[in-house]
Structure 1
Amino acid sequence: VDRFGPGAHADMDIRHFRRSAAALGPFFERMVAEAETGGSASHLTGYAPRNLAGALRRLGVEAEAAMLAASDGVNTHKGAIWTLGLLCAAAGMLHSSSMSAIAGVSPLGAEAVCDKAAGLARDIVSLTAPGLVRHGTLTAATHGETARLEHGLRSARDEAMEGFPAIRASALPLARRLRESDLADDERVITVLLAVMSRADDTCIVARGGIRALYRARASARQILDSGGPFSLAGSPIYSMMVAEFNASGLSPGGSADLCAASLFLADLEAAYPGEGGLLQEPSELLA
């Protein structure tokens, strides 16, 4: 879904996403604030208190209800609530601990945020699905969990609990570089999205088209990037063919879109921090 059309979706368009995003902004701010206060002591122990995990889970449930109310019942951002909510909370925890440290302020590196988010994810999941954390087992209840059981793929839960490995090797470094480039926003976002798609276990694609559709999507994304990007002379036709195939087959890279947003957020978060001894812009402000 973008401003040019709904893509493979018959139940939503860009207006749904804009209303949903506006409704979710205050919840991300609350997650940061909750983590800054509830997680202020956790830097001493290395883990998040369970009361913080419970508070974040409740905020996530409230955010999902607000999303559905704003989008006429359409799931526009459920995955983003999980992914960006964790990263916002993790950034809030690190912000709180760095501001209270005797040695001064420490930079908010993306990798540190991902690692902190992984601990938060494990704590939140342990509240509702302790078997997944202890034994790696969980009865399928979502597309991601079904793909996990049937194909050995990482669900959104797994991705978060493992510290977002799908973006750390490729999409995040690319997002950092492109942030300093003169590319238009459209090209920057789509290029980072393709980098995510080339590696991620996008269970949204699997749910709509099966495992072979995921393999084709990964291969196409890699081919586009290797050809110079989606707006290059060689890459543009391949990108157009992929978009046409997705629309015709009803495929949507929803999981990759969430991780693309995470990559861009983390790159912006790092850039908003001026360095040792400086002040950090509130993480929630970067989502505006």
Structure 2
Amino acid sequence: MEIKKEKAQKWARQLAIYAQQAVLYEAILFPKPGLVDAQNSGSHTDMNIYTFLNSSTGLGKGFYEFALRGLNWRGEAKQLFQAIRPIGMAAEKEMFKETKGVNTHKGIIFSLGIFLAAAGKVFQPQLSEEKKWPTIGPKEREMLFSYVKKMTAGLVSDDFKNLHLKNQLTHGEKLYLKYGFTGIRGEAEAGYPILQQRILPMIEKQDKNQAFHLQLLEILFYLMATVEDSNLVHRGGIDALLFVQEKAKNLIKEEKTFTSTTIFKIEQLNELFVEKNLSPGGSADLLILVIFLGKLETLF
């Protein structure tokens, strides 16, 4: 039993490392139009790359606890989701402490928390086997996304009920009432289908000789072209979302495969997005999930 406990702790640490690596990879990736990166702060005036690095280094404990909770979980999937919420709140508190009150990673704490706990639960049966690290294949991928969906069943209706009784609404709640946007809650409740059905198969087909940062930028732009990013809607309404989606689709169509010459076009887009105060933060968060899953499946 003690050996199994030690293995669970070791696997939780590795899952947390992958999560933290994913957050850091996204932070330093450049150029990202309208987003904070290693070169500039995009459309953000209250944060820079160092704000993101400070935030990232404070998230490891929470990531570990998410994963360990999943590895030790014996109850129902929806109950696991409720059980990790206090961990997420503590991680948010740590984030705000490191950033002096700036929200850098609240959205990704939510999503990575779900995937870390779900991964732990899916890997749990393999703890009893003689393995240094669990096997991750098509079967495990399907199990992971299926469990995420079970964890988040009914999330939108649960979280958005009785909004008319609240005195203060969050940005997400306001967008839900105004546009019917379900945001990251809706994506989670659906089981993040864009990642399972489109992005991970896309990564498997990418040219592995392509520079890694160009692979990541391709993924980011694909997400920007397809995701209903509530960050954009909050900043500029539906028109802002459609504008960014169109720009991303056009670049993908022009470039097909991203090369070093694509960088100049992305830098021009950054100037345009900054001018219009646009930031596709929802796509950036999904990119972090993609990197985490890619690490998990040794796609990267």
Question: Structure 2 length normalisation: TM-score?
Answer: 0.76
Tell me the CA shift for residue 114 of structure 1: 2.3
Partner residue of 2:244 out of 217, 230, 235: 217
Tell me the CA shift for residue 98 of structure 1: 4.2
1:48 partner letter: A
Q: 1:68, 1:139 → 2: CA distance?
A: 26
Are the aligned partners of 2:214 and 2:259 in contact in 1 as well (CA < 8 Å)?
A: no
Instruction: Map 1:1-288; keep pairs closer than 5 Å.
Output: 1-38=36-73, 41=74, 47-48=76-77, 50=79, 52-99=80-127, 107=137, 109-122=140-153, 125=155, 130=158, 132=160, 137=161, 139=163, 141-178=169-206, 181-228=208-255, 231-232=258-259, 235-236=262-263, 238-271=265-298
Larger deviation, residues 208-217 vs 237-246: 237-246
Q: 1:21, 1:242 → 2: CA distance?
A: 26
Tell me the CA shift for residue 230 of structure 1: 7.9
Question: Structure 1 length normalisation: TM-score?
Answer: 0.79
1:212 partner letter: D
Q: 1:88, 1:81 → 2: CA distance?
A: 10
Tell me the CA shift for residue 11 of structure 1: 0.5
Q: 2:294, 2:211 → 1: CA distance?
A: 16
Per-residue CA deviations over 1:89-139 (Å, capped at 9, x if unaligned) read 1100100034459xx96746434322212222337x48xx6365xxxx562
Closer, same or farther: CA 238–230 of 1 in aligned 2, 3 Å = farther
Which 4+ residue blocks in structure 1 deviate beyond 6 angstroms? none
1:116 partner letter: Y
Q: 2:159, 2:106 → 1: CA distance?
A: 23
Tell me the CA shift for residue 231 of structure 1: 4.3
Closer, same or farther: CA 66–97 of 1 in aligned 2, 3 Å = same
Tell me the CA shift for residue 173 of structure 1: 2.2
Closer, same or farther: CA 207–138 of 1 in aligned 2, 3 Å = farther
State the secondary structure of the residue aligned to 2:227. Answer: coil
Are the aligned partners of 1:225 and 1:235 in contact in 2 as well (CA < 8 Å)?
A: no
Q: 1:13, 1:131 → 2: CA distance?
A: 31
Closer, same or farther: CA 223–34 of 1 in aligned 2, 3 Å = same
Are the aligned partners of 1:224 and 1:230 in contact in 2 as well (CA < 8 Å)?
A: no
Are the aligned partners of 1:167 and 1:196 in contact in 2 as well (CA < 8 Å)?
A: no
1:215 partner letter: L
Per-residue CA deviations over 1:164-185 (Å, capped at 9, x if unaligned) read 123334323223334x612333
State the secondary structure of the residue aligned to 2:255. Answer: coil
Are the aligned partners of 2:175 and 2:181 in contact in 1 as well (CA < 8 Å)?
A: yes
2:289 partner letter: A
Identity %: 30
Q: List gaps (5 residues or longer) in structure 2.
A: 1-35
Closer, same or farther: CA 162–222 of 1 in aligned 2, 3 Å = same
2:45 partner letter: A
Q: List gaps (5 residues or longer) in structure 1.
A: 273-285
Per-residue CA deviations over 1:16-68 (Å, capped at 9, x if unaligned) read 11111111012111110011102xx45xxxx4162x33330000000000000
